[in-house]
Amino acid sequence: MAEKKTTGRRAGMDRRDFLKTAGLAGAGAVAGMGGIVGSAAPAAAAVAGPLGRAADLPPRKGQRVVVVGGGWSGLTLAKYLKKANADFDVVLVEPNAMFMSCPLSNLWLGGVIGIDILLHSYVEAARNNGYVWLQAMLVQLDREKRRAWTTAGYIDYDYIVLAPGIDYDYPSLGVKDPAEAAIVAQAYPAAFKPGSEHLSLKEKLDNFEEGTFVLNVPPGNYRCLPGPYERACMIASYFKKEGIKGKVLLLDPNEEPTIKAEGFLKAFEELYKDVLEYHTATTITGVDVGKNQVITEFGEIEFADASLYPRVRAARLIEDLGLNDPKSRQYEAKIDPFFYNVPGDLHTYVTGDSRSQPFSKSGNTANTEAKVVAKIIAARAAGKEPKWESPNTICYSMVNTDPNESIMVDAKYTFTKDKGWDFTDVKLITERSRQLGKANIEWGKGLYRDMFM
């Protein structure tokens, strides 16, 4: 496939954008930026430091592939790039000190597993799989020069894969002012990004005494379709077990659960009638932190506490780098739908929940897709034609904790010119069982082994 040279604003380094993205706008001229920006300004020199020098990395051996984001997509990519070509020099750029898993985290909220199962080490992952982990954040990209600027210095590369996950779109909850959004995010964290938000939600539940706990389902293609329903079951089961005089109120803009509907509706009815209320066709249009209220078309709902999940968007980084598809309401990356590269640029790829294909935003999808993208990059690096393979969405949901019982779905994707993307080879089990409960936990442990061992 002929490679086109990238030109224009997206590919090049626009000074205003560079400063804006690096958080330096208004700081004046910046020193030591490798000749990209102008003359010295003492106040900004310290900030310019890491951006002006190369990151401390072992000497480069072979073609360098930088993977941005150490989530389900990036961790799998880093490992499987090395498997596809042992000579690749792979650098994983991830700012978090430790990996915490979103998948299985609802089970932790429900008391089914301990938090230790969710936590893993980037050092172990990198050492076990022969790549380098750089604890840093990507702040800017020069796709023409193939140079990535991180908070720990710049990296020159042959290929780069961006797998930065998601951010939240608070205006979708009627919270349009960014300052107000920051207050809502802190008061009622969505806990659909791993780490502090999850710990905060657990803390809220541990301290919850009585009243209504509001959860919601966002519109659009949000991260983990069954996640909000599974979470409602886990919190309801926790209230039941602990004898808490609370009720979970799940607000859903849809007419029924977006996936595994029969299994979730049966669980709501048979297991949680007294502790879980499910309101369909209900969209949140505003949030009042002072009054502990959400506003819907049907009026205000007061609550004791809440965890509010806005519409998701591709990580802000994608838009900041000018890589979002202007047609995507969720700011997802504009990429080749089969080979994941930015159009006209065979050196830049976007994967995981920032992708624009309407696949399920799930860990299993990100993991299986990353293995395919590793092969695509290895093929291109060797001058060969890449092959498309469908990712696989396997998703279990725990609906009961007494005993542990789950439901599940397993599906692949197909593309036709008439219909676009569609599910294929679908296996759906909505009859909850202990066997699936066990398989659920084993599925998670198997994937952690796949990414970290």
Distance CA 39, CA 44 (A): 11
Q: CB of 189: closest distance to ligand FAD in angstroms?
A: 11
- Residues that bind ligand FAD in the complex, under the rule CB under 6 A: 68-74, 93-96, 102-103, 105-106, 137-138, 163-165, 192, 223-224, 227, 315, 317, 352-353, 361-364, 366, 395-396
Residue placing its CB nearer to ligand FAD in the complex, 160 or 366: 366
Q: Which is nearer to ligand FAD, 31 or 370 (CB)?
A: 370
Coil, helix or strand at residue 114: coil
- Among residues 70, 65, 66, the alpha carbon closest in space to that of 87 is found at 65
Distances from the Cα of 442 to the Cα of 103, 129, 235, 323, 438, angstroms: 12, 22, 22, 37, 6
For 264, the 3-state DSSP assignment is: helix
Residue 89 Cβ vs ligand FAD, minimum distance, rounded to whole Å: 18
Q: Which is nearer to ligand FAD, 164 or 296 (CB)?
A: 164
Dist. CA 55–CA 40, nearest whole Å: 21
Is 21 or 292 the residue whose CB approaches ligand FAD more closely?
A: 21
Least Å distance, CB 389 to ligand FAD, is 18
Q: What's the CA gap between 433 and 171, in Å, rounded?
A: 39
Residue with tokens 């949030």: 287
Run of H or E including 79: helix 72-84
Cα 385–388–392 angle (5° rounding)? Answer: 155
Output the six-digit token pair for 346: 């065979």
Please identify, using beta-carbon distances, which residue of 278 and 396 lies nearer to ligand FAD. 396
**Rounded to 5 degrees, what angle do the CA atoms 225, 231, 233 make?**
115
For the CB of residue 345, give the shortest distance to ligand FAD in the complex, in Å: 19
CB atoms within 10 A of CB 35: 7
Q: How far is the CB of 379 from ligand FAD (least distance, A)?
A: 22
Cβ distance to ligand FAD smaller for residue 82 or 296: 82
Work out how close the CB of 191 gets to ligand FAD at its nearest, in angstroms, rounded to a whole number: 7
Nearer to ligand FAD, 38 or 114 (CB): 114
Q: What does DSSP say about strands 245-251 and 210-216: parallel, antiparallel, or unpaired?
A: parallel
Shortest distance, position 393 Cβ to ligand FAD, whole Å: 7
Nearest residue to ligand FAD, scored by beta-carbon proximity: 71
